[in-house]
Amino acid sequence: MLFRLAIIFLVLAGIYAVFEISRFSWMDYRLYHPKAEFQTREATASPEKLIFVEFIDYNCRFCKEMHGAVKNFLDIRPDITYVARPIVVLPEGPSEKLARMALAAGIQGKFWEFHDAFLGYPKDKTVDDAFIRETAMLYGVDYDRLVTDSQSETVNKWMANNAETAAREGVQSTPTLYVGKTIIRQMGKVLTTADFQRIADGLPVDGVSP
């Protein structure tokens, strides 16, 4: 009798373990694979080393301060896939509008251009309609279509996907970054390109917990 109970216990434990592994694998998959596929910039060198996911708010001054280091890091590490997930953590200001505009630009193949333009804007200034229009003109984006698409059901779904993923991951501030298995939440210091290199190589960085 005891032997049978032990067998049943082991079988149930095995089923539970498989369930948990599958659940966490699916959670990882959803983190790394946004609904809008253009939010992923694939590694250009093989083999791929890491996946770097960044939750950003385009109205967040810390996101803007760190963007230069992120860009430099990705330029020198073509073996890393980068996933940008725009979300809204600042209810006041243009956060939602800018996220929608960037995603809508993706429909016309210009997500990354708008992503860089918004994060490259001065941290102490607010992106206005004139700048958005100028950016559209610069990159050959149909501005009227951009505005219409930003309120479309497709963009609604992409916004919801990013927001739901952020909520599931417990993201409450930006920037929040996942470099491989290292999670970096908004902190007092702005990480440098060298900091990102150390994190990617599994080396310690002050203020960052592995």
Q: What is the CATH number of domain 33-200?
A: 3.40.30.10
> At residue 163, what is the residue type?
A
pLDDT band at 24 (very low <50, low <70, confident <90, very high): very low
Tokens at 186, concatenated: 């908004």
| pTM of the predicted model as reported, rounded to 2 decimal places | 0.84
pLDDT band at 46 (very low <50, low <70, confident <90, very high): confident
Determine contact, residues 174/186, Cβ cutoff 8 Å. Answer: yes
- How far is Cα 90 from Cα 106, in angstroms, rounded to an integer? 22
Alpha helices for the chain (secondary structure H):
2-32, 61-76, 95-107, 111-120, 129-138, 143-150, 153-169, 193-200
